[in-house]
Structure 1
Amino acid sequence: MPLSAHVIHGAAAVADGRVTRTTLRSRAWCRVIRGIYADARTPINHELRCRAVATFLLPTGGAIAGRSAATLLGPGLCGPDDPVETITPRPARPRIADVIPHTGTVGPDEVRTIGGVPVTTALRTCWDLAQWLTLEEAVVLVDRLLHARQVTVTDLTRYADHRAGVRGIRRFRRVIALADGRAASPQESRLRVALRLAGLPAPQVQHEIHDSAGFVARTDLAYEEARIAIEYDGVWHGDAAQLHRDRQRLNRLQAAGWLVLHVTSTRLRTDLDGIIREVTQALHARRRTRP
């Protein structure tokens, strides 16, 4: 089989004469992670990086885990330059910048194989995400696993019950309580979790609104009793045709008595406190004006 069909360990390939160091430094090859190369025509993505780690660096009993596992399971967010997360029964050596190693015990029923690569199951991945990430980012990924039907809330609750008393269980249950698989995007998840952590009531997710003429909109987040809708505006909302549809939709929502608050990616990143303050003020104002 030709070399181009493989991801190769550079030092081993040079040692057995398959390639030379000069060849590896040429445009014919590209670095996948430190010391491991692929044919330059091979698209470098996170899945390829995971395969390289699993093939050449992962100790026996280890698995791809965390954010990397979520990506291999389908709905993860890792890009081609993100480090690969692993879990192994013993501390990994040597440590390299391309890999984030975690140490822990993984049961045989907590690992599955995807394309020949050992990967933690969706349930175990959710547990690990809850332990390793911030609460907000863990919920973002658990939302995506729920949305992709890799797990269910019932699955997560049973897994938590099975691990009752284990260190980290309170954090895991907190993630479950905040998670919602109806979230349509990571940013919507981040916004919803931020509102919850600020002490605000849980908004409805992907809430459908109707008027006398029928269906009006499905809003990202909503407080139905107060008639407040919160919309996350991604870059696609800047399209002229989409803007036209958005304005028609907004007019119908307002005519139906709904207050619509818009959140952009810039504000979510730089003015989260301001967003929370606006939502809080809107809720208080609507409660005062209710008959």
Structure 2
Amino acid sequence: MYEPRGLTRKSLAASGMSEHHISKALRSGELAGIAHGLYLWRKDFDALGPVGRHRVHARHIASGLDTDEAISHISAAVLHGIDVWDVPLRRVHVSRPPSRSGRVTSGLHAHTTNWDDGEITQVLGVPVTSVARTVVDLARTLPRDQAIAVGDAALRSDPSAATQIPRVLEASRCRYGLVSASSVLQFLDGRSESVGESLSRIRILEYGLPAPDLQRELVTVDGRRVRVDFYWEDLGVVGEFDGHEKFTEPQDLIDERRWEDGLRDLGLEVVRWDPEELETFEVVVRRFERAVARHRMWALDRAQ
């Protein structure tokens, strides 16, 4: 996949652009800045979006790292291709040994830390903290919602990281934010297929609802296999998070109605919620409670 490299005045001059033309391109917007002294052509800037631009910035910073440094934290997540959500991307994060000084500038956050074996890997020729180390670092430093959303995405993209996380966490026992990290890491589940599903699991816990099974496959009366986001088997309830991208074509709505009819034929109640309702989840809780009551009535009628 094509990915542009960041441009500097030096690289632009080497390609034949004069200082006058560089300044003119910057004034006109043909060149757009992504960090101090680092630019992209406007078409690349617009096509990449914030995450893609951060990846370009991180790779540029990585080209100047010393041998004892590595891209880390949210910048490592971006280079690993892990979905990130609602996190600042202005600064590239780098980790280095405690013998070096940490610092924060407008475009760089340098952390001091120790490495254990296996905690540094290579991505696109760039030294990057491993997925497991990245997840632990973010669990220590990000707000809970963001840490879980990124952590779920990391385990979704690399399930093997789950077996490495306990060892990395143990090695991090003297670092800042370990208590918060332990709580976050115990909650992670790579079966969450989107940020919305990760946030839904958080809200379900916060509002005291029973823990559901995730991505459960069910067989309808007519033999179709369907997979549901959340399943409370003992309560006879299915939960579905409806992201804005879920129904993009008319056929999507038709398929979804058939899917829901198939579940109701099994005697299951379906509770749905959307991204906005994650902020007013008590509405979903009441909907869930009504669904549980309806299933109980159905079960009583069936038993008679």
TM range (shorter): 0.7 to 0.9
C-alpha distance in 1 between matches for 2:5 and 2:191 = 39
Q: 1:15 to 1:217 in 2, by over 3 A?
A: closer
C-alpha distance in 2 between matches for 1:212 and 1:41 = 52
Q: 1:32 to 1:176 in 2, by over 3 A?
A: same
Q: Percent identity?
A: 24
C-alpha distance in 1 between matches for 2:91 and 2:126 = 13
Find the residue that maps to 2:267 and give its secondary structure: coil
Q: 1:258 to 1:238 in 2, by over 3 A?
A: farther
Matched with 1:24 is: 22
Q: 1:17 to 1:166 in 2, by over 3 A?
A: closer
Residue correspondences, number: 280
Contact 2:267/2:298 (<8 A) preserved: no
- Deviation, 1:189, is 0.9
From 65, 75, 90, the equivalent of 2:72 is 65
Matched with 1:82 is: 89
Contact 1:6/1:39 (<8 A) preserved: no
From 35, 38, 44, the equivalent of 2:37 is 35
What letter is aligned with 1:266? E
1:47 aligns with 2:46: no
Q: 1:157 to 1:238 in 2, by over 3 A?
A: same
- Deviation, 1:186, is 1.4
1:120 aligns with 2:129: yes
Q: 1:68 to 1:17 in 2, by over 3 A?
A: closer
Q: How does 1:109-258 map to 2 (within 5 A)?
A: 109=117, 110-149=119-158, 151-164=160-173, 166-234=175-243, 235-258=245-268
Per-residue CA deviation, residues 227-263 of structure 1 (Å, 9 max, x unaligned), is 1111111223242101001111111111211111111
C-alpha distance in 2 between matches for 1:22 and 1:151 = 52
C-alpha distance in 1 between matches for 2:247 and 2:274 = 10
Gaps of 5+ in 2: none
C-alpha distance in 2 between matches for 1:251 and 1:212 = 10
1:92 aligns with 2:103: yes
Find the residue that maps to 1:214 and give its secondary structure: coil
Q: 1:195 to 1:86 in 2, by over 3 A?
A: same
CA RMSD of superposed structures (Å): 3.2
Gaps of 5+ in 1: none
